[in-house]
Chains A and B, each alone.
Chain A
Amino acid sequence: MADLHELAAFFALDALDPDERQAFERHLLGCEQCQVEISELSAGVGVLARATAEPAPEDMRAVVLGRIDADPESRLATVAALPRRGWLAGVAAVAAATTIVLAVLFVGLQTRLGEAERVQTVVAAADLQILTAADSPVGPARFAYSAQLGQGVFTGSGLPALGTDQTYELWLIGTEGPSPAGIFLPGEDGTAVVLVTGDLDTGVTLGLTVEPQGGSNQPTGEVLIALPLD
C-alpha cells in the first residue's frame, strides 16, 4: 500500500476514517519518512489553529476555572504537576505537561484571583516546607506551606467518605488553642486539596478531625492527623 504515505496530511488533521487511520498508524510504525513528515505537518496544523484564534468570551474563563476548582482530582494533579519552587525562573526547563497547566492557569490569572493561583503561589514560595503524614488513619496526607505567606495547601488522598451530616475540618493548633482552618469534603476518589490561611509559624500544629456538618468552633472529634510545623 504505497499510497499510505499520501494519507499523512489527513492523519495530521485527524481527518481519516477509522479504517484508514488504523492502516496508517500501522504504516507509521515502520516508516521513518512519514514519522518525520508528521511532525512537520503537525506544525502546520498548529499554525492553522492559531490563525483561527478568536477572543474567548470573558465569562468563559471564569466558568472554566470554577469547574477546575470544583474538581478535587484536577486540583490534586495541579499541585503534583507544578514545579516545587521558582516556577517563574524555571519555566523554560519544565516539561510540556506543566507548560499546559501554566497556560491554562494564565487564562484564569488574567480575569480572576482564583484558588489555582493561590496554590501556585504557595508552591512557588521560597520558604516552601512540605510535611507528610504517611500513616494516618485517613490515608496519606501532605501539607505544603509557606510561613512567610501565611498560606498552605493541604492535600489528602484515600480520605474515607463521610456521612451527609459530617465534614472534615482542619485546625491550626497554637499556644492559644485550636482555631478552625477550613472544612471540606473529599471527592469521590478520596482526594482533597484545601487552602489554609493563618499563622503558620513554628510551634503551630495542623490538625484534622471529623466534625458535624457545617464545622465546629472547637474540635470535638478525634484528631486523625497532627502535623507539627517546623
Chain B
Amino acid sequence: MADVVFGIARRVLIDPARAEEVAQDVLVEVWKTASRFDPARGSALTFVAVMTRRRAIDVVRATESSRKRETRDPGSPPAPDPVADRVVEGDENARVRRAVGDLTDLQRQAIELAFYRGLTHAQIADKLGIPLGTVKARVRDGLLRLGRMVEDGDG
C-alpha cells in the first residue's frame, strides 16, 4: 500500500520530497481511520488511492506549483528507474501496468488528466480539443476496461 500511495503522490506532485510528505500523512491517517472504513464504498486500495490523489492535488493547488509543472508533459510518468522497477514489479504489477498501457491513447490521456492533474471533463475536452461527450465516454470505457481486468481473475 505504501508504494501505491507514494506512487500516486509522486505522479501528481513530481517532486519526491513533497510526495513523501503527502504519502506519510495519508498512511498515518489510514491507520487512524481504519476502524471507520466503510467497505461498501469500494475496495480499501481504491479508497486510499482516491484519498492520496485528493491530498496531492490540494497541495499542488495550494502552492501554485502547477506553474512549474506546465513545462512538463502533462500526466507523464517519471522517468523509469530500472532497478526500482525490478523491486516493485511483481507479476501483478506488470499486469496492471500492461492493462493501462493497453488503453487507447485517448482513454489513457483523458483518465490521467482527470486523475493526476485534477482536470474537470470540460477542461479535458478543451485541452484535448475533443467534444465533451467523447471525453466522458472515453473515461468511462477506459475505467470499465481496467475494472473488468479485476473480474478476469486478478483479484
Partner of B46, one of A16, A46, A98: A46
Docked-complex contact A44 and B147, CB < 8 angstroms: yes
Total residues of chain A contacting the partner, CB 8 A: 55
- Which partner residue on chain A sits nearest B8 by CB separation? A52
A18 to chain B, nearest CB (A): 11
In the complex, chain A residues whose CB is within 8 Å of the CB of B39:
95-97
**B92-A50 in contact (CB<8A):** yes
- What number of A-B contacts does a CB cutoff of 8 Å give? 202
CA distance A49 to B111 in the complex (A): 12
Q: Which residues of B contact A16 (CB under 8 A)?
A: 120
How would you classify the secondary structure of chain B's contact residues: helix, strand, loop or mixed? helix
Q: Does A57 contact B (CB under 8 A)?
A: yes
Residue A1 interfacial (CB < 8 Å): no
Report if A15-B119 is in contact (Cβ < 8 Å); known contacts: A63-B24, A77-B32.
yes
Looking at the assembled complex, report how far the CB atom of A22 sits from the nearest CB atom of chain B, in whole angstroms: 15
| Alpha-carbon distance A66/B120, docked complex (angstroms) | 37
Question: Which of A68-76, A173-181, A189-197, A211-219 makes up part of the contact surface?
Answer: A68-76
Tell yes or no: B99 within 8 A of A by CB: yes
B residues 58-111 near A (Cβ < 8 Å) are 77-78, 84, 87-88, 92-93, 96-97, 99-100, 111
Which residue of B has the minimal Cβ distance to A41?
Answer: B143
* A92 interface residue (CB < 8 Å to B): no
B54 on the A face (CB < 8 A): yes
Which A residues lie within 8 Å of B46 (CB)?
42-43, 45-46, 49
CA distance in complex: A103, B20 (Å): 18
Verify B6–A80 contact, CB threshold 8 A.
Answer: no
Mark A79-118 against chain B: 1 for CB-CB distance below 8 A, else 0: 0110000000000000111111101100100000000000
Interface stretch of the complex, out of A3-11, A137-145, A161-169 = A3-11
Residue numbers of A with Cβ under 8 A of B are 6-10, 12-17, 37-57, 60-61, 63-64, 67-68, 71, 73-74, 77-78, 80-81, 95-101, 103-104, 107
The 8 closest A-B pairs by CB, nearest first: A49-B49, A44-B143, A44-B147, A54-B7, A43-B147, A44-B146, A56-B6, A96-B39
Other contacts beyond A48-B111, A63-B24, A107-B2: 12, CB < 8 A: A6-B137, A10-B136, A12-B143, A14-B53, A15-B120, A42-B147, A47-B99, A48-B49, A48-B115, A53-B4, A60-B24, A64-B27
